[in-house]
Structure 1
Amino acid sequence: MKLIPDQPVTFGDEEGDFHIHQVHRTKPFGRVNHFHPTYEIYYLRSGERVHFIDRRTVRLVAGDLVLVNKGVVHNASDIGPPEHERIVVNFSDAFLGAGHPLHDPLLLGPFAHQACVLKLSSQERVFVEQLLAKLVAEAAQRRPGREVYLRVLLTELLLFAARHPIDDRPEDGGQRDSLHRKITEVAAFIGGSFATKLTLPDLAGRFFVSPYYLSRSFKAVTGFTLIEYVNLTRVREAQRLLRETNLKVISVAEQTGFESAGHFDRMFKKLTGTTPLLYRKLNRL
């Protein structure tokens, strides 16, 4: 489907059971606070982008297919000229999970890596683009059996991804990549130290840069401010503890680095849309 620049084709809500969004952008565009309870498939049809996914940066070029697990923090930003076209599919466990006739654990295998990048050949690109075009077209219709056909098409796409080797080659060198490696190190440190007090001056000192440089560079690479990323990391761990343990909410707040139960409640609700107690009730394993 050919698009007018910056005019999207979209269906559904990305936090609902199924969502697809195709857009051709010509202007700079970035997102913040981006993590959700659905799986994501991202296909870059044209242009170049850099993605911050699960504490690392990944350079994407046309023909790359990215699969991101639910709950993984990720963000896309420009790497050069902002013009690009991409298609994003989000779907839930309820849409294509256990209990559905088409379900097979193999289909969700690529998401076990939290996030994986598939480098497609020209022949594979044709196949994937045809599948995605069918998904976009079917989502835009209101014909009988639409949801069944969407599941069939999504199953075929997931099966293709599950059989495809994952690209884990290191990024090329260069000044830009050196910056990305530095920010990846900072993100990894936050991921292992979120339970402690983390301040911009302390982090800047640890990584031998100025607070201004760290603040500006972290936002440029990840799309998040440092405090946004720290809070996201803490809330994600709090979600895990609420699902998997019997710890009291105050103990969860303490173990994830929040200085007070009130701050924890406010930040948790801001980032998840619900309270810690209600989240536990709805998501207890």
Structure 2
Amino acid sequence: MELSKLPDSLSFGKKPDTRPVQVEFDRRSMYYTMTANHFHSEYELYYLFTGERYYFIKDRNYTILAGDLVLIDSEEVHKTANRNDLIHERIVLYYQPAFFAALPAEERELLLSVFRRDYPVLRLNLQERLTVEGLLLSLLEELMEKPPGFSLRVEQIGAELLVLTARILLKKEAVAAEVPSPSQLKLTEIVRYINTHYNEPLDLEGLSARFFISKSHLSRTFKEFTGFGFSEYLTLTRIKEAQQMLRGSTQTITEISEAAGFDNFSHFGKTFKKASGMSPRQYRAIHQNGKTNGG
């Protein structure tokens, strides 16, 4: 299967019949930046066939080139944006947590290890790239032709990709991280501060004073660095933390709203529903086996 023979978009495994491994292939020739759902419970394997992208993950911005694998942990904030070339072709595999839960412990830890590295970008050598692309093109051929058993084959290839990636990482030293500029280091420091002080009153004026950077410069460079506006990122971080508390704590929803940094319960409810597609109470019911706590 040649990449050029594929349609501009292919997908597999999405709702309503969610599969353990989901796939998205896209060929884009115009400006594109992610606009929604910037974190999710699935583990994500991203491969760039052609073009260049910026990828913000957790608290750093990475340059992604053709042939790079990006491996994103569950619930990790991330966002892609254009770099130099608007034209790019990429494939994303989303692995449901249930995919790993069904495996024996040793195999589960091996596959999950690829998503739990300090540096989430794997720059492949030519031999590794040809092997990875061979698997991915086989997967896309299955989606194009849909032979009997293609769904199972897609999931098998998804597992094979993770095994291959884990073995590559075990054989080679970690890819040398790009040396960040002083400006990038400053912004990483700011993002990390937000990530640990999300439950406190935060605004651009206060951060600019704390980090000795003008408010206008901070606003502009924060957007360039992360792909998010400051308020958008702060809200996203607070919602992410609220989701974790709703899944794992016995606090009331009102208490969680306050602990996540929201000073208005009504605003929390509206913002949470917009980001999550459901109310905090519904979210808790789903993730705590239908048992809700008052709020």
Question: What TM-score comes out, normalization by structure 2 length?
Answer: 0.86
1:217-236, aligned counterparts within 5 Å? 217-236=221-240
Alpha carbons of 1:4 and 1:154: their partners in 2 closer, same or farther (altered >3 Å)?
A: closer
How big is the shift at 1:4? 7.8
Aligned residue for 1:116? Answer: 120
Gap runs ≥5 in structure 1: none
1:64 and 2:68 equivalent? yes
Partner residue, 1:125: 129
- Which residue of structure 2 aligns with residue 97 of structure 1? 100
State the distance in 2 between where 1:5 and 1:207 align: 48
Which residue number corresponds to residue 172 of structure 1? Answer: 179
Q: Contact (CA 8 Å) 2:93, 2:158: kept in 1 or not?
A: no
How far the C-alpha of 1:183 sits from its partner, in A, is 2.3
| Alpha-carbon shift at residue 6 of structure 1 (Å) | 9.4
Q: What TM-score, normalized to structure 1?
A: 0.89
- CA-to-aligned-CA distance 1:10-35 (integer Å, 9 cap, x gap): 33438943432223333322113322
The aligned counterpart of 2:11 is 10
The 2-side partners of 1:185 and 1:5 are apart by: 42
3-state SS in 2 of match to 1:196:
coil
Amino acid at match of 2:70: V
Matched, 1:212 2:212: no
Residue 252 (structure 1) shift: 0.7
Give the number of equivalent residue pairs. 281
Whether the 8 Å contact between 2:10 and 2:143 is mirrored in structure 1 is no
Determine if contact 1:77/1:221 at 8 Å carries over to the other structure.
Answer: no
Counterpart secondary structure, 1:3: helix
Tell me the amino acid that sits aligned with residue 266 of structure 2.
G
Q: 1:184, CA displacement in angstroms?
A: 1.8
User: How far 1:92 moved relative to its partner?
Assistant: 1.2
1:210 positional shift: 2.2
Deviation string, structure 1 residues 210-258 (Cα, Å, up to 9, x no partner): 2222222222222211111101111111111111211111111111100
**CA–CA distance in structure 2, aligned partners of residues 238 and 158 of structure 1:** 30
Structure 2: tracts of 5 or more residues without a match: 290-295
Identify which range, 21-30 or 62-71, moves more after superposition: 21-30
Q: CA deviation at 1:129?
A: 0.2
Q: Give aligned-pair identity as a percent.
A: 35
Q: What does residue 254 of structure 1 align with?
A: 258
Partner of 1:158: 162
1:244 aligns with 2:251: no
**Alignment-derived partner of residue 148 in structure 1:** 152
Match of 1:20 in 2: 23
CA distance, structure 1, for counterparts of residue 174 and residue 55 of structure 2:
15
Letter in 1 for 2:142: E
Alpha-carbon offset, residue 5 of structure 1: 10
Distance in structure 2 (CA, Å) of the matches to 1:169 and 1:268 = 38
Q: CA offset at residue 46 of structure 1?
A: 2.2
Partner amino acid, structure 1, of 2:86: P
Q: Which amino acid aligns with 1:170?
A: A
Q: Are 2:34 and 1:31 equivalent residues in the alignment?
A: yes
> Residue type of the partner of 2:165?
A
SS in 2 for 1:10: strand
Deviates more, 1:237-246 or 1:20-29: 20-29
Change (3 A) 1:153 1:283: same
Partner deviation per Cα, 1:156-212 (whole Å, 9 max, x = no partner): 101011222273533135xxx443333222211100110100111111222222222
- The one-letter code of the counterpart of 1:43 is Y
